[in-house]
Structure 1
Amino acid sequence: MKKNRAPDLTPQQIEAALDTLDTWRGKLTWELLLDKLEEQWGSRYSRFTLSSYEQVALAFSNRKNSLSGTLPKSRGVPADARLRAALEQTERLKAKAGRLEVENARLLEQFVTWAHNAERKGVTMDMLNAPLPKPDRDRSKGVA
């Protein structure tokens, strides 16, 4: 029997996968992540599919590294629910900030590469920084 192919990932699903990684606690493997995402989405994706999205692959690697090096020794769980929620939110935001810093550094490196290659082809920074033309919204499509 032929297996049904999972639908293409949407930008919202990619963002959800990144959020899942940002909030991940405990052991992290691709299989565990795929299991968790299958629970959320109802479709099973392969490691190959998910890791082909560079943002997800970088976030997975970054989160795995942060979890392996900084897991706190068992300090106990605060009794106050508000304090627990605040600590969980802090952890999630720290993880997201770390992921975004890595992503930002990669984009800055890509920008430098593009600028260098453009300059080699005779494209100046002034040409690259020229404003985009304004759309001609007043002209009707049918009028020549």
Structure 2
Amino acid sequence: MPKIIITENTIPIALHELDKWSGKLTWELYAERLAKALGEKRISRHTLLSYPVLVETFNAKKYALKAADQSLNSKEQDITLEFAKKQIATLESTVARLEKQNDLLSEQFVRWQHNLYMMPLVDMEKLNARIDTPLTEVKRR
């Protein structure tokens, strides 16, 4: 059985690598950098393509890089300014990705709410009263 490299714990690392990416972006280059970040020998392109969140973020970043490359005509020589620009680009990319994720989750919530409302034998008053109760505490020891 193959080793599972991309998990719930490693997806944020993979997304962060895309957020801070600058320069030419290809699946091979991304897989190589992600393998280094995760401490793996190699990650195949096909492995990365099997995760829709990575594919969407990759495509959005590639589009953003292409648009930024076309608008960037002059080069700055100040290292501090370049570092600040890279950091701003990383943060803007992260914000855009998180806003899109938030929109998708909001849409999913509305869809669930509508589907529950349409189900027979679902008492919405009981559901609303129950939905805000806190989770039960888990005692590990």
Query: Which residue of structure 1 lines up, in the alignment, with residue 101 of structure 2?
Result: 103
Distance apart, 1:93 and its partner CA: 0.6
Gaps spanning 5+ residues in structure 1: where?
A: 138-144
Among 19, 36, 40, the residue aligned to 1:22: 19
Equivalent residues of 1:6, 1:45 under 8 A apart = no
Query: TM-score, length-normalised on structure 1?
Result: 0.75
Shift in Å at residue 23 of structure 1?
A: 1.1
Which of 59, 63, 84 aligns to 2:57? It is 59
Kept after mapping to 2: 8 A contact 1:119/1:125? no
Task: Return 5+ residue gaps in structure 2 as ranges.
Answer: none
CA distance in 2, matches of 1:66, 1:35: 21
User: Which protein has the larger Cα radius of gyration, Structure 1 or Structure 2?
Assistant: 1
Distance across 1 between alignment mates of 2:58 and 2:111:
25
Change (3 A) 1:14 1:135: closer
Q: CA deviation at 1:125?
A: 7.0
Matched, 1:117 2:115: yes
**What TM-score does the superposition give when structure 2 sets the normalisation length?**
0.76
Q: CA RMSD in A?
A: 2.8
The residue that corresponds to 1:13 in the other structure is 10
**Is the contact made by 2:32 and 2:43 (CA closer than 8 Å) also made in structure 1?**
no
Match of 1:31 among 28, 32, 38: 28
Q: Which string of whole-angstrom CA distances, capped at 9 and with x for unpartnered residues, describes residues 57-77 of structure 1?
A: 221121122122232333113
1:48 aligned partner: 46
Percent identity over paired residues? 32
Aligned to 2:131: 130
Query: Are the aligned partners of 1:59 and 1:99 in contact in 2 as well (CA < 8 Å)?
Result: yes
